[in-house]
Structure 1
């Protein structure tokens, strides 16, 4: 279920938001990152992903977000753990900022025709992960660093 923007803002101001993020890796070992249009991390390259809906299984959210944000289907390889972030800025100007708890999934793309949604302005394949992602001890990123 998609919340109206005003209700989502109230949720962000009241509690953490559960998200999924995807480490999309191609056969050359590169990672697909998207350049964000909105806060948090506006104009930065980051992982595609987003919030989990009530009654939505994590793997279903992975598939939904990859179709919505990238226009592709993916094969889920494995869960790489979780991380949490705190942001002062949000697109909704939420009082008190934003607390996100994200489950990170390694996925392989099943297609190559990337079609970005309105949340991102650019994308690319990168050899290195964003530095802020490499800082989380709760993630199993040893194979990718």
Structure 2
């Protein structure tokens, strides 16, 4: 059974254009100290089970592989946020019908990208999967500074990275990939 996303919107909600990110660093730091972020991340994969991961440049996942996504903007649906993130991070114009809701996680990160970095932050992270066509899979490259590079991984590659203890996989990554039946 496919999970259902219930979008509840009051009649007088006014959609508005929201800048890419409109908070000064100190305001963002205060927000991280006091609010739980809503994030949507997407796991691009192929029909044969390969998973695309990006090598992260920023905290909290610096120098590790992770999936693609980020904060939701005011007025977005989960799908809107996922489509925007894939376009921003991979130049992918995703087919909305292939985005599948997977799991939601309450994540408490130990570090963050704004000072004080060691204070961490908390997110409600909704994970979605996206099955790429062969053409899409061949064309995906990093489109912003979030990831230094991207790489397709087979299940065997991922198991080897996990078993080696290389530190390239954040401990949460095998959990979300197993829950998505991709590891």
Where does residue 29 of structure 1 map in the other structure? 49
1:104 matched to 2:127 = yes
8 A contact 2:66–2:173 mirrored in 1: no
1:72 Cα deviation from its structure 2 partner = 0.8
Structure with greater helix share of residues? 2
Give the structure-2-normalised TM-score: 0.69
Structure with greater strand share of residues? 1
5+ unaligned residues in a row in structure 1: which ranges?
none
> The residue matched to 1:9 in structure 2 has which SS?
helix
5+ unaligned residues in a row in structure 2: which ranges?
1-17, 159-168
8 A contact 1:23–1:105 mirrored in 2: yes
Alignment of structure 1 residues 1-145 onto 2, 5 Å: 1=18, 2-6=21-25, 7-75=27-95, 76-94=98-116, 96-109=119-132, 111=136, 112-116=138-142, 117-128=144-155, 131-135=171-175, 140-141=179-180, 143-145=181-183
Residues paired across the two proteins, number = 142
Between 1 and 2, higher relative CO (CA 8 Å, sep ≥ 6) is seen in 1
Q: Higher Cα Rg: structure 1 or 2?
A: 2
8 A contact 1:34–1:121 mirrored in 2: yes
> The residue matched to 2:139 in structure 1 has which SS?
coil
Give the structure-1-normalised TM-score: 0.86
| Two-structure CA RMSD over aligned residues (Å) | 2.1
> The residue matched to 1:39 in structure 2 has which SS?
coil
